[in-house]
Amino acid sequence: MKKIHYALIALLALGSAPAFAKGDGFDRSYQFNQKVREDQQRLWGKKNAEVADAGQQPAKRSEPPASASEKKRNGS
């Protein structure tokens, strides 16, 4: 090989070294996702678990009262 080939190989090796030193970021994204899941469980999971323990269904939302024009259309 010529000296230029060695120089290019050395340049590529030195240029890519910082990328390998930092890693691919998998650990940080995995930790972020784990924390989000724990927060969601803390925020939303406890209420559903309490309802399940009590053996009750979660309260359903009531529909807004019908307007006078809707009552006339429905015949009520």
- pLDDT (tens digit, 9 = 90+) per residue, 16-49? 777 666 666 777 888 899 999 999 998 888 665 5
Domain that holds residue 31: 1-45
Asked whether residue 29 is assigned to any structural domain, the reply reads yes
Question: What distance in Å separates the CA atoms of residue 61 and residue 59, rounded to the nearest whole number?
Answer: 7
- The phi and psi torsions of 18 (rounded to 5 degrees) equal -65, -30
Q: Is residue 70 part of a domain?
A: no
Residues of the chain above pLDDT 90, percent: 18
Greater confidence (76 vs 18) lies with 18
Looking at the 3D structure of the chain, how many domains does it have? 1
Structural domain contains residue 7: yes
Provide φ and ψ at 7, rounded to 5°: -65, -40
CB 48 within 8 A of CB 58: yes
Q: Does residue 59 surpass a pLDDT of 80?
A: no
Residue 57 lies in a domain: no
Q: What's the distance, CA 32 to chain centroid?
A: 9
Q: How far apart are CA 19 and CA 12, in angstroms?
A: 11
**Predicted local confidence at residue 58, as pLDDT:** 56
Please indicate, yes or no, if residue 68 is contained in any of the structural domains. no
